[in-house]
Amino acid sequence: MAKKVAVLAVNPVNGCGLFQYLEAFFENGISYKVFAVSDTKEIKTNSGINLTVDDVIANLKGHEDEFDALVFSCGDAVPVFQQNADKPYNVDLMQVIKTFGDKGKMMIGHCAGAMMFDFTGITKG
- For 125, residues 6+ apart whose C-beta sits below 8 A from its C-beta are none
The Cα–Cα gap between 86 and 108 comes to 24
The Cα–Cα gap between 67 and 82 comes to 28
In the predicted model, is pLDDT for residue 80 greater than 90? no
**Closest by Cα among 65, 50, 69 to 8:** 69
| Angstrom distances, CA of residue 69 to CA of 3, 29, 41, 50, 81 | 8, 15, 21, 26, 23
- pLDDT for the residue 125: 66
Q: Is 15:49 a contact under the CB 8 Å cutoff? A: yes
- pLDDT for the residue 113: 78
Work out the pLDDT band at 18, boundaries 50, 70, 90.
very high
In the predicted model, is pLDDT for residue 124 greater than 80? no
pLDDT in tens, 35-70: 999 999 999 999 999 999 999 999 999 999 999 999
**Which range, 28-32, 84-88, 108-112, 119-123, is most confident?**
28-32
